[in-house]
Structure formats: C-alpha cells, structure tokens
Chain A
Amino acid sequence: MAKIVAGIACSHVPAIGVAMDRGMTGTPYWEPLFKGYGPARQWLARVAPDVAIVVYNDHANALSLEIIPTFLIGVADTFPIADEGFGPRPVPPVRGHAPLAWHLAESLILDEFDMTIANEMTVDHGLTVPLSITCGQPSEWPFAVVPLCVNVVQYPPPTGARCFKLGQAIRRAVEKFDQDLRVVIYGTGGMSHQLQGERAGLINRQFDTDFLDGMTKDPLALTKITHTEYMREAGSEGVEMVMWHVMRGALNENVAEVYRHYHVPASNTAAGLMILENRSAA
C-alpha cells in the first residue's frame, strides 16, 4: 500500500530558482534564505520518498487563458521544463509516475473531484523551484513527481476548504494504491506577497506567522479564510496559500512540525518553508 508520510509547504518564488541557476546563493542577499534550506534538504534525503505529489500553480506557461482548469493532474512519464519567457531553467526534466497519477485521477473523479487530466505538459517554476529548494542541484531529481495544478491566476481560485477536502481525497486514493510507495506531498506558493499595482511589495509577517502556526494548531480554522481576506492581508498573490490546504488535508489530523524557515525578502515575497510529519492518531 502506498502511504503519505509527510507534507512540505514551500514558497515557489521564481527568483530563488534564478539565484540557484546563476550560482548566486552565497551572496549577502541570498545567503540567509538558502542557509535555512540546508536542514530541509537533509531531512528529505533521509526520508527518501519514492514519489512527490506537488501541488502548485502554473503561471501562464503550460496553461494560458484559453482553457483554465481549476484542478489538473499530470499523468505523463516526463514533464519538460517550460520556457517562461527567458528560456527554460537549466534543471533536469521532471520524471512522472503515470500509474499513481492515473490511479489518482480515476479515484478523485469517482470521489467527486472533477480533475482535468494532462497527458502532455511542461512544468514551470511553480513546481521546479520547490524541487530545487528541497533537493539542491542534482543531475536528475531523486524521486518521481505527480504534478497537481490549481488555478490561482484567474479569479476565483478554489476555496481553502475545497482544497483541504481535495487533500483528504488524495490521501484516500493514495492509500488504495497497491504498490508500496512512500509519498510526500508539497503545497507550494505564498507566503504574503503582492506583485501588482500600487500596493506591490506588501508583506504581512504576522499573518504568515499565524498561518504557519495554524497548520498544526487548527488547520480547519485556516480553511475558512476568504479570498478577499488573503488578498487584503497577505497581498493579492498571497491567495496562493490555498494550495497549502491541499497538502494539509492529505495528512493526518495529528502532525508534528519538524522544520520551519521564514525569510523576507525573496524578491517581492515572504518565503516560507515548513515540514509536517504524520503522527499516529493515537
């Protein structure tokens, strides 16, 4: 039986990928951020998952405005790296896990989550930056990936509560998969940031801290945050944090926070990283 062992919440700021790709991680600007990634990489290497389900959003790369799926799952064997407007990132292509991805697609749809299925797609920084943050710069990624895209570009994104329930359904589906796989799930995006308009640069450390604390203390309360509250309090792009609820919903009620790192700024954004391990309900 496959099993979800842990969840990773992680910002996916594109500039973090650029800093790694251009060898700038030791500069005074970036060093404090990257220093905090070391323990997470060590933890992940120890856990050595077979598969990661990565919940992220595409940013006008694989998907445009022609067709806007609210939830999409990638079932390919390989996902090439997208050209986001300045050439693809120099990172390895992402290896999929088609059997698990198809099983998830079927199970989720029959469990009343109407997934869009992608047989071919590229992946952008939303997916690759969290891999870079947690794996460094390997010649190939150390595990297979099931990409799960959530629309947060065209208003409205799915609600936090809906995302949490999708996470619960993912967990039910994973546990019905008949291969022994150790699975981790990433919820990416956030934390507070606003990239647009006169209010660009908004950061709300208190909101972010409360959100990080709430992931263990009262995750269901966090699912009640409305889109307007995210946008008002955590910046218009802070609404990406709905994706963290998919990750949280896929974990046990009882989780332990084993690592946290928070740093301002990464370009325009508050960068957060949190690792949650499942604990038994008893």
Chain B
Amino acid sequence: MSQPPDYESIPGTYVYDARRGREGYALNMFCMSLNKADNRKSFKEDEAAYLLRFALSAEQRRAVLQRDWLGMLKVGGNIYYTIKIAFCDGLTFQDVAGMMSGVPKETYAQMMLAGGRSPEGNRFKKSSKTGEDHG
C-alpha cells in the first residue's frame, strides 16, 4: 500500500484494519479466552503465567500486565477484545474510555452527561496534510 488509508487522519483513533489484525491476533485471542469463567479464574490467579499460553510480544505483555489500555491499542489490541480484561477487573466501558482519553473518571462522566466529546476540532490530526477541521 503506497498511500496511508484516509482514516489515519482521524485523531486518537486506532482502526482495527489488516495491519492491526496481523499484529494483534494473539493479544486479542488471549482476551477472547476470558469469555470462559475457568480461564478468568486462571488469569486472575497468575496473570504472568496465564499469558505464557499466548504468543504475545514483550510490549503486548507489558501493556496487559500494566493495564495500559491505550498501549494495548497501539500494539494491535481491539477494544471489543481488550475490554474483556477490564470486565475481569470489574471495570466498566466508561471507566476504560476515561482512562484511554487521559482524564479522571468524573471528568469523563461529566463530559458524557454534557453531550459527549464534540467533533469540532476532533476530526483531523493537527499534523494531518489531508485538510483542516472544517467544523
């Protein structure tokens, strides 16, 4: 592929495309295993040992063990899969969304109650060559 896909100009967004699908397969399949109660139990008992069952990269392994939610997306994590780790921890989707966007839980919740994050100024990466945010 010579040109980066046009969705790469969207800020703060990790589209689960072919590239991330290849990089993240093992990470996401680990997350998928947490749909089974027995596996959730094994994972909670010894996370590091449980992760050895999957062919994760060192960075993927670090991101999982440190619950670096944004970091997981950067190494091929898909949010519908990585959220299974959060469920295992007793967190909600909104808890994780707040952490990924780098604000305290209460601040994020307030933003949602006030109508959510505006698309204004959030359509294009600042450095994007594909255009200005036309609001």
A residues 258-281 in Cβ contact with B at 8 Å: 264-265, 267-268, 270
B100 touches A196 (CB 8 A): yes
User: Please, which residues of chain A bring their CB within 8 A of the CB of B51?
Assistant: none
A232 touches B21 (CB 8 A): no
Given A60-B32, A61-B35, A265-B112: A202 in contact with B21 (beta carbons within 8 A)? no
A199 touches B122 (CB 8 A): yes
Residue of B nearest to A13 (CB): B93
Chain B interface residue count, CB cutoff 8 Å, equals 54
Minimum CB–CB distance from B83 to chain A (whole Å) comes to: 8
B14 touches A196 (CB 8 A): yes
B16 at the interface (CB under 8 A from A): yes
B57 at the interface (CB under 8 A from A): no
A65 to B17, CA, bound (A): 12
9-residue interface stretch from A84-92, A110-118, A164-172, A178-186 = A84-92
A residues 194-227 in Cβ contact with B at 8 Å: 194-205, 207, 227
B42 at the interface (CB under 8 A from A): no
Minimum CB–CB distance from A6 to chain B (whole Å) comes to: 30
Minimum CB–CB distance from A187 to chain B (whole Å) comes to: 19
A65 touches B21 (CB 8 A): yes
A59 at the interface (CB under 8 A from B): yes
B104 at the interface (CB under 8 A from A): no
B81 touches A60 (CB 8 A): yes
User: Please, which residues of chain B bring their CB within 8 A of the CB of A205?
Assistant: 115
B17 touches A155 (CB 8 A): yes
Residue from the set A61, A156, A196 with the largest chain B CB neighbour count within 10 Å: A196
Q: How many A-B residue pairs have CB under 8 A?
A: 152
Q: Tell me which of B5, B14, B34, B119 contacts A85 (CB under 8 A).
A: B34
A82 at the interface (CB under 8 A from B): yes
Q: Tell me which of B5, B7, B35, B112 contacts A201 (CB under 8 A).
A: B112
User: Please, which residues of chain A bring their CB within 8 A of the CB of B78?
Assistant: 60, 65, 153-154
Minimum CB–CB distance from A157 to chain B (whole Å) comes to: 11
Mask of B9-48 contacts with A, CB within 8 angstroms, 1/0: 1111111111001000100110110111100100000000
A60 touches B80 (CB 8 A): yes
A119 at the interface (CB under 8 A from B): no
A84 touches B35 (CB 8 A): yes
Given A196-B14, A236-B13: A85 in contact with B84 (beta carbons within 8 A)? yes
Instruction: Write 6 A-B pairs (CB below 8 A) sorted by A numbering.
Output: A60-B81, A64-B29, A64-B32, A82-B35, A85-B83, A205-B115
Q: Which residues of A contact B (CB under 8 A)?
A: 14-15, 59-61, 64-66, 82-87, 153-156, 192, 194-205, 207, 227-228, 231-233, 236-237, 264-265, 267-268, 270
Q: Which residues of B contact A (CB under 8 A)?
A: 5-7, 9-18, 21, 25, 28-29, 31-32, 34-37, 40, 70, 73, 78-81, 83-84, 87-88, 92-94, 97-98, 100-102, 108, 111-113, 115-119, 122-124
